[in-house]
Amino acid sequence: MCQREYRRRVSIVAGVSLAASLVCAAAWGRPVEPSALPIGADVVLTLDNDDVIKGKVLSTTADSAVIEHPVFGQVNVALARIKASAVTSNPEEARHVAAEAAKAVAPPPPPTPIPEEAKLSFWEGWKGQLEAGVNGSDGNSETLNARAGLSLKRTTDAMDTLVAANYNYATDSGEKSKSRGELFVRNDWFFKDSPWGFFAQAKIEYDEFQDWDYRASAFAGPTYTVIKNDRTTFILRAGAGVSREFGGGENDFIPEALAGFDFAHKFTEYQSVFVNYEYLPSLKDFPEYRMNTKAGYQIVVDPSSNLLLKLGIEDRYDSNPGDGRRKNDLDYFALLAWTF
């Protein structure tokens, strides 16, 4: 009973609205305003040639309206041609239904991409390399030379982080001739859409056969990326810092400058070379200086197990090494390395 009464009232209201619109249009002849055609409402339009259009309002502009006709589909009607209009459904309810239908049909917005560095915590995304090599002789001469190292690297769009450690040990005729270790940490920050960047690094060295027992150093400064692609990387760096020796003849802080570069190139997927160079002039006792050079060639010998062979040299030069010490320390190495 309630439903019949509701339908009867809606029909009466619709009829009254239609009649009122026809009367107003005939009396004043004013064009229909866009506000008289609510989006999503069912309407009955009477045109200036007495044609009648029934349908749902899809959109309106200042001059026209788009009506969804049940037979002819979307019809564009000029407001100037409408001499009478009537809304046959509740505008608020029509808007709500149209909005819900649009939500159901419209595809969901694409997810906002999350930067790679935001996806990973600092402890994720690391790649490592473990290397070791031993050679020696026995008989008329007894020698042993062993070297081991571990490096960890993390690369994102914003920065590169490197942590590396190695230790060298050697004997000659049963007597220890080398015992040296090194721990190195460096972080490179990159500026977006620019070849410029910034680096900070720290190193701790241990050597039983130097004028000192330990040496610590730290440097920072700008970088400039000359080349960086899938095959070649060439980065220039310059900066300043300080070093200090412990257990030697000069246990004092020494300010130093730094100029150097890092170069790496892949010939193929399995063969590559690298060169790392640093020039460290003293800012306290110029022209004294130090130089560190490391270069090598590596080839993947077993791709399935990530095993590679590294051949190279490492040279450390000190223009003032101390009494009875040589200026150059040159190491040759042949190592097997495993990446993980």
| Residues forming beta bridges with residue 213, ordered by sequence position | none
Residue 167, token pair as written in the block: 């230790």
Query: Any idea which residue has 């037979």 for tokens?
Result: 71
Predicted local distance difference test score (pLDDT) of residue 105 = 47
Predicted local distance difference test score (pLDDT) of residue 4 = 55
**Which domains does the chain carry?**
2-105 (2.30.30.100), 125-339 (2.40.160.40)
Residues in the chain: 340
Query: Chain centroid to CA 83: how far?
Result: 61
Predicted local distance difference test score (pLDDT) of residue 108 = 65
- pTM for the predicted model, two decimal places: 0.64
Residue 132 vs residues 4, 11, 112, 206, 338: alpha-carbon distances, Å: 91, 92, 45, 19, 9
Per-residue pLDDT of the chain (340 residues; tens, 9 = 90+): 445 554 555 454 444 444 444 434 443 445 677 777 888 888 888 888 888 888 888 888 888 889 888 888 888 888 888 887 877 765 555 555 455 545 554 566 677 665 554 566 778 889 999 999 988 777 666 888 999 999 999 999 899 999 999 999 999 888 999 999 999 999 999 998 999 999 999 999 999 999 899 999 999 999 999 999 999 999 999 999 999 999 887 788 999 999 999 999 999 999 999 999 999 999 998 899 999 999 999 999 999 999 999 999 999 999 988 887 889 999 999 999 999 9
Are 133 and 334 in contact by the 8 Å Cβ rule? The answer is yes
Predicted local distance difference test score (pLDDT) of residue 26 = 42
Give the N- to C-terminal CA distance of the chain in Å, as an integer.
Answer: 78
- Which of 89, 185, 171, 175 lies closest to 137 in space, CA to CA? 171
Q: What is the DSSP string of 177-200?
A: EEEEEEEEEEEEEE-TTSSEEEEE
Query: Chain centroid to CA 253: how far?
Result: 38
Predicted local distance difference test score (pLDDT) of residue 120 = 66
